[in-house]
């Protein structure tokens, strides 16, 4: 909500809604408003896992239903009162999510979707067939209205206010999980998961937290639903519940908690508004949804503008910190893919302040080596040391936090983040994002979206992120690819400055007129083996390097 | 003079409009979702009765689709209660009724339904009136016909996983055992299952001599079609879904050979009398064939109108009248058993393999002994 007019419009709308609920809405209108609030909570939860992380979980309806069953069983079988039933409704789906998170969250997108769908179907089968506990297809009926002490929230305005107070709670939780650098990390993780890991973002921990939080909010909504409706049947676990929550998230606006609320308000009220169309109300409802998707690609929340960080003045940025010096040592590292040996006993060292050129024909193993160094692949043999620390086979985020970061042949970025936000997302404690943006020569573009940057600026952005993440060693995979002479000269100057500041740089590139003058030493790989090593001049004249890569000496 | 004429005209207009629409009867039924066929029949029956008998009282019907979720039904009911009706026609889906009943009870509005789910009249809320015989009636008829007429000794049962399916299965399991022919096979089928062969194959291994079905319309047709395609020639005694013309229309007449079904009634099987008139009027109004749900809801609303004609105006008066009087409907005579169960008769219809119109083979009257 960047502009004041949008914020004002939203504030007025919220106040108008509150006044309507307090003074004008009848029992039916309050009931519909209550339903909207309940679904808003589930949608805010779903937005965390689907909207923010981009993981298509098909279990949110299941968590909603489990929350309803937990609250219903707690009240009817265990005699629990409110708010213990609410706690049960939050706890059961949260526990299930935590239990299944470890195997499920490792899966790639479509397998993740299928796995979560399987869990949802399993829950539905249990609810339908475990008749003694769940009441079978009839379900549980007579779930008491919400009462605590002398206060009754059974129905009408008290229930509506309670539910919307819970919406406020859900918004607070969502805000705390996605505000500031946390939100930037999540955006980077969704749009560029490999880069996120290689820059020290612990994707597993974030996915786990968000999955459990989405389950907790789904369960909270389900528990409220159980008390509001008084019946819990397998219907709450049916696929259509998920579809409704998904539609609310998409139509409201995938990345905004406000969108989840707006989506819930719209999708719960639309069918009621269209009741007078009798048999055709679903057709009108469908047409309205289609129109919303076509004409509001950013969802309803898009009407209120994009949330942005305030523009940052980079001129006054603090000077960047010098890195802690680390020597990178690679000892007889090997990697095989099936019957293909990609790397065969490769060894090298990279001292602080040194630029080591890595050259070789396509398929010689250069990128594979960078993947092993950065933890994206694990070696089959050998050791990798960063200083005294053995980082062999460690996860990418561990290696990044240890001080080794990399760039990619094709820059991995979050296109909707500005340059400064992209760097802020990975900035280590004590580092300054603005300083690193300035250092990388991007201060003029600090507030531009990364997705709009030209290729050369993207390469600089990747370097700025690596520096902000606290890297003392940089592994740069073809940073000069596609650059013109001026851009290469700027990049060379930047790398030289970084080396002078104590960074060790492993530099892969095919542009010999860029790499050879810049590198202190060069290693030539061919078919996964080191065939030449030495100063740039020595390697350029080495018969093995000429035979394997140059064809003729570049000197 | 002009003003006076205008005032008189306006008063007359207002009076006419007030007379023309004294009360709207909410019809809250599932016309979308897996119960849309049955729910549409329920709606049509209610609407036809109001149009036929309610005009003089200024009654009108307002139909609201409840879908198949309890919350959808609750929302529809709360909307309807805004107008403070004296009664409402309510969903035939048991889980929806269980959600609506406490609200109707608090509001003091009687609900008229054709739901077969036993529990709705067992939870002690005296605002429900069921005009379709419950499982305690129709399942007795189905079980007795299986044993007494078809000679079953080794029956197998396929039932739905819904509330309707589980409730009926529970009754059939018990009654068949009590009548000396316990089930030799039983399987629950989800409403979304389209391939019935695995269930049929497993069933055959139990070597049954009769197939009992307690399924919704679509599943009933699928089981019969696939059983006949597999040359499973066992007699089939189905639940009330099979008596519906819309179900029979999904099958070839020859596939219906050896198929019978329990029901509250079968309007299209009645060749003469008031039921035939009802059928003709229903066809003319809706362009489709009526079934027992339509007739039962028609009778239920007709009884409501009878209550109003007898002077019941408020919701409480309507409830008291329905609870304490009997009514001769087209399908049967209705009388409350004290819990709101109004229907106590059943029929078994059978197809001859040449026509999609079944013949009433046997009537079971006053099964619950209330009348």
ipTM reported for the complex, 2 dp: 0.75
User: Of A229, A237, A268, which to mutate for an interface test with B (greatest number of B Cβ within 10 Å)?
Assistant: A229
Give the whole-number percent of chain B exceeding pLDDT 70. Answer: 94
Partner residue facing B117 (CB), from A138, A225, A275: A138
CA distance A420 to A414: 12
Cβ within 8 Å, pair A31-B75 = yes
So where are chain B's domains?
2-134+273-344, 135-265+347-364
Measured CA to CA in angstroms, residue A402 lies from A200, A205, A326, A391, A424 at distances of 9, 18, 10, 8, 18
Cβ within 8 Å, pair A35-B167 = no
A3: which 2 tokens? 């502009």
Which pLDDT score is estimated for B367?
A: 83
Asked whether the CA dihedral A39, A44, A48, A52 is positive or negative, the reply is: positive
Asked whether the CA dihedral A158, A160, A161, A167 is positive or negative, the reply is: positive
> Is residue A409 in a domain?
no
Measured in angstroms, the CA of B164 and the nearest CA of chain A are apart by 8
Instruction: Count how many residues are written for chain A.
Output: 555
- B134 with B121: CB under 8 angstroms? yes
- Give the count of domains, chain A: 2
Q: Is the pLDDT of residue B133 over 50?
A: yes
- Same domain for A353 and A208, yes or no, is no
Burial class (CB in 10 A: 0-12, 13-18, 19+), A17: middle
Alpha helices in B235-291 (DSSP H): 245-248, 274-286
Cβ within 8 Å, pair B64-A136 = no
Cβ within 8 Å, pair B99-A229 = yes
Report the chain B residue with the minimal C-alpha distance to residue A238. Answer: B69
Long-range contacts of A486-490, Cβ-Cβ distance < 8 Å, separation of 24 or more:
A487/A456, A488/A514, A490/A441, A490/A456
Cβ within 8 Å, pair A231-B163 = no
- Same domain for A290 and A384, yes or no, is no
Contact of B75 with chain A, judged by CB distance below 8 Å, is answered with: yes
> Is residue A263 in a domain?
yes
Cβ within 8 Å, pair A231-B162 = no
- Same domain for A394 and A347, yes or no, is yes
- Same domain for A340 and A292, yes or no, is no
Contact of B95 with chain A, judged by CB distance below 8 Å, is answered with: yes
CA distance B113 to B28: 10
Cβ within 8 Å, pair B166-A138 = yes
CA distance A334 to A82: 61
pLDDT digits (tens, 9 = 90+) for B52-70: 999 889 999 999 999 889 9
- Same domain for A130 and A19, yes or no, is yes
CA distance A159 to A168: 14
Comparing CA positions, the residue from A527, A551, A536, A550 lying closest to residue A368 is: A527
Cβ within 8 Å, pair A278-B79 = no
- Same domain for A509 and A380, yes or no, is yes
pLDDT digits (tens, 9 = 90+) for B332-357: 999 999 999 999 999 999 999 999 99
CA distance B171 to A391: 67
Which pLDDT score is estimated for A13?
A: 79
Give B95's contacts in chain A (Cβ within 8 Å).
137-139, 141, 231, 233, 235
A306: which 2 tokens? 């994009």
Give B102's contacts in chain A (Cβ within 8 Å).
142, 230
Partner residue facing A230 (CB), from B78, B102, B167: B102
Q: Which of A34-43, A156-165, B86-95, B361-370 has the lowest mean pLDDT?
A: B361-370
Domain end position, chosen among A304, A320, A354: A304
Give A282's contacts in chain B (Cβ within 8 Å).
32, 65
- B131 with B296: CB under 8 angstroms? yes
> Is residue A413 in a domain?
no
Which pLDDT score is estimated for A152?
A: 83
Count of alpha carbons within 13 Å of B75, Cβ hemisphere only?
A: 26
Cβ-based neighbour number of residue B5 at 10 Å: 9
Partner residue facing B163 (CB), from A137, A228, A272: A137
> Is residue A431 in a domain?
no
CATH 3.40.50.2300, applies to B2-134+273-344: yes
Higher local confidence (pLDDT), A425 or B163: A425
- B304 with B112: CB under 8 angstroms? yes
* Buried residues in A229-264 as b, exposed as e (16+ CB within 10 A): bbbbbbbbbbeebbebbbbbbbbbbbbbbbbbbbbb
User: Of B163, B171, B188, which to mutate for an interface test with A (greatest number of A Cβ within 10 Å)?
Assistant: B163
Give me chain B's average pLDDT, please: 91
Report the chain A residue with the minimal C-alpha distance to residue B96. Answer: A231
pLDDT, one tens digit for every residue, chain A (555 residues): 445 666 677 788 788 888 888 888 888 999 999 999 999 999 999 999 999 998 999 999 999 999 999 999 999 999 999 899 999 999 999 999 999 988 888 777 788 889 999 999 999 999 988 988 998 888 998 899 998 878 888 888 999 999 999 999 999 999 999 988 999 999 999 999 999 999 999 999 999 999 999 999 999 999 999 999 999 999 899 888 999 999 999 888 877 888 899 999 999 998 888 876 666 777 777 887 788 778 887 788 877 765 555 555 555 555 556 667 889 999 999 999 988 999 999 999 999 999 999 999 999 999 999 999 999 999 999 999 999 999 999 999 999 999 999 999 899 999 999 999 999 999 888 788 999 999 999 999 999 999 999 999 999 999 999 999 999 999 999 999 889 999 999 999 999 999 999 999 999 999 899 999 999 999 999 999 999 999 999 999 999 989 888 776 666
Comparing CA positions, the residue from B352, B350, B348, B351 lying closest to residue B363 is: B348
CA distance A272 to A283: 13
Cβ within 8 Å, pair A137-B82 = no
Comparing CA positions, the residue from A312, A270, A544, A267 lying closest to residue A434 is: A312
Q: What values do phi and psi take at A348, rounded to 5?
A: -165, 165
CA distance A535 to A354: 12
Cβ within 8 Å, pair A138-B119 = yes
CA distance A7 to A20: 20
Cβ within 8 Å, pair B70-A131 = no
Which pLDDT score is estimated for A316?
A: 53
Give B98's contacts in chain A (Cβ within 8 Å).
138-139, 141, 231, 233
CA distance A274 to A286: 11
- B184 with B206: CB under 8 angstroms? yes
Cβ within 8 Å, pair B63-A278 = yes
Shared fold status for B2-134+273-344 and B135-265+347-364: yes
What does DSSP assign to residue A550? I
Bridge partners for B90 per DSSP = B28
Cβ within 8 Å, pair A31-B78 = yes
- A456 with A483: CB under 8 angstroms? yes
Which pLDDT score is estimated for B1?
A: 43
Who's near A26: CB < 8 A, 6+ residues apart? B82
- Same domain for A182 and A277, yes or no, is yes
- Same domain for A220 and A333, yes or no, is no
Span B171-192, average pLDDT:
95
Comparing CA positions, the residue from A469, A470, A492 lying closest to residue A480 is: A492
Comparing CA positions, the residue from A45, A412, A99, A388 lying closest to residue A245 is: A45
CA distance B259 to B223: 12
- Same domain for A37 and A131, yes or no, is yes
Q: What is the dihedral of CA A489, A492, A494, A498, to 10 degrees?
A: -170
- A382 with A369: CB under 8 angstroms? no
CA distance A526 to A366: 9
Burial class (CB in 10 A: 0-12, 13-18, 19+), B360: middle
Give A142's contacts in chain B (Cβ within 8 Å).
102, 123
DSSP codes joined into one string, A339-402: TEEEEEEEEEEE-TT-EEEEE--TTSSHHHHHHHHTTSS--SEEEEEETTEE-TT--HHHHHHH
Cβ-based neighbour number of residue B183 at 10 Å: 17
> Is residue A270 in a domain?
yes
Which superfamily is assigned to B135-265+347-364 in CATH?
Response regulator (3.40.50.2300)
Residue B350 backbone class (left: φ over 0; alpha: ψ -120 to 50; beta: rest): beta
DSSP codes joined into one string, A479-534: TTTT--HHHHHHHHHHHHHHHHTT-EEEEE-S-HHHHHHH-SEEEEEETTEEEEEE
Measured CA to CA in angstroms, residue B100 lies from B28, B46, B82, B97, B308 at distances of 10, 19, 15, 5, 23
User: Of B32, B43, B99, which to mutate for an interface test with A (greatest number of A Cβ within 10 Å)?
Assistant: B99
What is the separation, in whole angstroms, between the first and last Cα of chain A? 58
pLDDT digits (tens, 9 = 90+) for B268-305: 998 888 999 999 999 999 999 999 999 999 999 999 99
What H or E segment, with its residue span, contains residue B156?
strand B155-160
Residue B340 backbone class (left: φ over 0; alpha: ψ -120 to 50; beta: rest): left
Measured CA to CA in angstroms, residue A416 lies from A260, A306, A420, A450 at distances of 20, 10, 11, 6
A338: which 2 tokens? 């099936």
Q: Is the pLDDT of residue B16 over 80?
A: no
- Same domain for A263 and A382, yes or no, is no
Cβ within 8 Å, pair A139-B81 = no
> Is residue A457 in a domain?
no
Asked whether the CA dihedral A266, A271, A274, A276 is positive or negative, the reply is: negative
We report the CATH number of the domain holding residue A180 as 1.10.3470
**Is residue B270 helix, strand or coil?**
coil
B184: which 2 tokens? 């030799």
> Is residue A372 in a domain?
yes
User: Of A230, A243, A273, which to mutate for an interface test with B (greatest number of B Cβ within 10 Å)?
Assistant: A230
Q: Of chain A residues 213-232, which have a CB less than 8 A from chain B?
A: 225, 228-231
Structural domain of residue A534, as residue ranges? Answer: 328-403+472-550
CA distance A189 to A438: 24
Asked whether the CA dihedral A7, A11, A14, A20 is positive or negative, the reply is: negative
Contact of B78 with chain A, judged by CB distance below 8 Å, is answered with: yes
- B60 with B81: CB under 8 angstroms? no
> Is residue A419 in a domain?
no
- Same domain for A149 and A208, yes or no, is yes
Who's near B341: CB < 8 A, 6+ residues apart? B121, B130, B133, B134, B136, B368, B370
- Same domain for A283 and A335, yes or no, is no
pLDDT band at B241 (very low <50, low <70, confident <90, very high): very high
């Amino acid at each position: 909500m960047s502009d004041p007019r949008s914020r004002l419009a939203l504030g007025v709308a919220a106040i108008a809604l509150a006044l309507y609920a307090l003074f004008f809405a009848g029992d039916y209108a309050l009931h519909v408003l209550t339903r909207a609030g309940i679904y808003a909570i589930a949608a805010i939860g779903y937005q965390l896992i689907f909207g923010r992380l981009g993981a298509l979980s098909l279990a949110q309806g299941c968590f909603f239903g489990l929350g309803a069953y937990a609250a219903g069983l707690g009240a009817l079988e265990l005699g629990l009162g409110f708010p213990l039933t609410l706690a049960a409704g939050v706890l059961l789906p949260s526990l299930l999510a935590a239990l299944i998170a470890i195997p499920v969250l490792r899966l790639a997108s479509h397998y993740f979707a299928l796995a979560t769908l399987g869990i949802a179907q399993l829950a539905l089968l249990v609810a339908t067939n475990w008749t003694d506990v769940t009441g079978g297809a009839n379900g549980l009926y007579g779930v008491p209205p919400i009462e605590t002490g002398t206060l009754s929230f059974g129905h009408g305005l008290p229930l509506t206010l309670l539910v919307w107070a819970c919406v406020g709670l859900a918004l607070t939780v969502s805000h705390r999980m996605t505000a500031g650098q946390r939100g930037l990390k999540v955006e980077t993780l969704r749009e560029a998961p490999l880069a996120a890991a290689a820059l020290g973002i612990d994707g597993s921990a974030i996915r786990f937290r968000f999955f459990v939080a989405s389950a907790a909010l789904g369960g909270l909504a389900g528990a409220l639903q159980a008390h509001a409706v008084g019946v819990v049947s397998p219907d709450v676990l049916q696929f259509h519940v998920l579809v409704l929550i998904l539609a609310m998230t998409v139509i409201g606006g995938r990345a905004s908690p406000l969108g989840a609320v707006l989506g819930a308000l719209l999708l719960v009220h639309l069918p009621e508004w269209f009741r007078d169309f009798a048999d055709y109300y679903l057709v009108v409802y469908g047409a309205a949804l289609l129109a919303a998707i076509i004409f509001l690609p950013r969802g309803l929340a898009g009407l209120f503008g994009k949330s942005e960080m305030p523009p940052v003045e980079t001129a006054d940025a603090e000077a960047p910190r010098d890195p802690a010096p680390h020597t990178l040592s690679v000892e007889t590292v090997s990697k095989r893919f099936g019957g293909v040996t990609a790397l065969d006993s490769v060894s090298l060292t990279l001292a602080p302040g040194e630029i080591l050129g890595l050259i070789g024909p396509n398929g010689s193993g250069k990128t594979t080596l960078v993947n092993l160094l950065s933890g994206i692949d694990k070696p089959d043999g050998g050791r990798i040391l960063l200083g005294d620390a053995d980082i062999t086979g460690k996860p990418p985020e561990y290696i990044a936090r240890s001080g080794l970061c990399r760039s990619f042949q094709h820059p991995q970025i979050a296109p909707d983040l500005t340059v400064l936000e992209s760097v802020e997302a990975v900035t280590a404690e004590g580092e300054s994002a603005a300083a690193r943006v300035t250092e990388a020569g991007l201060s003029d573009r600090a507030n531009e979206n990364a997705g709009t940057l030209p290729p050369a600026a993207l390469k600089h952005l990747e370097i700025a992120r690596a520096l902000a993440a606290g890297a003392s060693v940089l592994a740069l995979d073809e940073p000069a690819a596609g650059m013109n002479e001026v851009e290469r000269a700027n990049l060379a100057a930047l790398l030289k400055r970084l080396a002078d500041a104590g960074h060790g740089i492993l530099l892969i590139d095919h542009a010999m007129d860029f790499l050879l003058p810049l590198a202190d030493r060069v290693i030539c790989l061919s078919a996964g083996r080191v065939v030449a090593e030495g100063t740039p001049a020595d390697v350029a004249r080495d018969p093995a390097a000429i035979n394997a890569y140059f064809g003729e000496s570049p000197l | 003079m002009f003003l006076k004429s205008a005032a008189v005209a306006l008063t007359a207009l207002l009076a006419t409009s007030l007379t023309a629409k004294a009360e709207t009867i909410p019809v809250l039924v599932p016309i979308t979702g897996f119960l849309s066929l049955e729910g549409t029949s329920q709606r049509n029956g209610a609407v036809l009765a109001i149009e036929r008998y309610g005009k003089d009282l200024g009654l009108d019907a307002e139909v609201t689709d409840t879908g198949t979720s309890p919350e959808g039904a609750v929302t529809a009911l709360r909307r309807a209660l805004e107008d403070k009706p004296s009664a409402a026609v309510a969903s035939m889906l048991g889980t929806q009724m269980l959600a609506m009943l406490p609200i109707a009870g608090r509001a003091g509005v009687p609900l008229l339904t054709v739901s077969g789910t036993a529990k709705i009249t067992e939870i002690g809320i005296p605002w429900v009136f069921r005009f379709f015989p419950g499982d305690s009636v129709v399942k007795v008829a189905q079980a007795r016909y299986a044993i007494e007429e078809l000679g079953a000794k080794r029956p197998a049962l396929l039932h739905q996983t819904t509330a309707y399916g589980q409730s009926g299965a529970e009754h059939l399991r018990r009654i068949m055992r009590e009548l000396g022919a316990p089930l030799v096979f039983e399987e629950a089928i989800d409403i979304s299952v389209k391939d019935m062969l695995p269930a049929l194959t497993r069933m055959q291994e139990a070597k049954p001599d009769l197939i009992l079905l307690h399924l919704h319309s679509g599943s009933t047709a699928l089981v019969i079609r696939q059983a006949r395609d597999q040359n499973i020639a066992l007699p089939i005694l189905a639940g009330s879904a099979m008596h519906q013309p819309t179900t029979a229309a999904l099958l070839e007449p020859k596939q219906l050979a050896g198929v019978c079904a329990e029901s509250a009634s079968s309007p299209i099987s009645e060749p003469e009398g008031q039921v035939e008139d009802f059928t003709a009027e229903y066809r003319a109004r809706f362009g489709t064939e009526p079934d027992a749900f339509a007739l039962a809801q028609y009778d239920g609303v007709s009884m409501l109108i009878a209550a109003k004609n007898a002077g019941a105006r408020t919701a409480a008066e309507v409830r008291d009248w329905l609870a304490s009087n009997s009514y001769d409907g087209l399908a049967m005579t209705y009388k409350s058993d004290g819990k709101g169960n109004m229907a106590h008769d059943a029929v078994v219809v059978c197809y001859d393999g040449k026509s999609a119109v079944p013949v009433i083979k046997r009537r079971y009257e006053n099964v619950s002994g209330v009348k």
